[in-house]
Amino acid sequence: MADGTALNAHMVSFRGLSDGLEHLALTFDPIADTPLVRVHSECLTGDVFGSARCDCGPQLTESLKMLSVSGGILLYLRQEGRGIGLYNKLDAYSVQDRLGLDTFAANRHLNFSDDLRDYRAAAQMLRVLGTSQVCLLSNNPDKTEQLRRYGIDVVDQVPTGAFLNECNLRYLRAKVELHGHRIEITQEIA
**Tens place of pLDDT for every residue, the chain, 190 residues?**
445 555 689 999 999 999 999 999 999 998 999 999 999 999 898 899 988 777 788 889 999 999 999 999 999 999 988 788 899 989 988 998 899 888 888 888 999 988 888 999 999 999 999 999 999 999 888 899 999 999 999 999 898 877 766 766 666 566 656 555 676 776 655 4
- Per-residue pLDDT at 38: 94
* Annotated catalytic residue, options 117, 127, 153, 156: 117
For the chain, which domains are there?
9-79+117-179 (3.40.50.10990)
53 is catalytic: no
For residue 54, the model assigns a pLDDT of 77
| Active-site residue, selected from the candidate residues 47, 115, 127, 149 | 115
What type of residue is 51? S
Active site residue 149: no
For residue 156, the model assigns a pLDDT of: 92
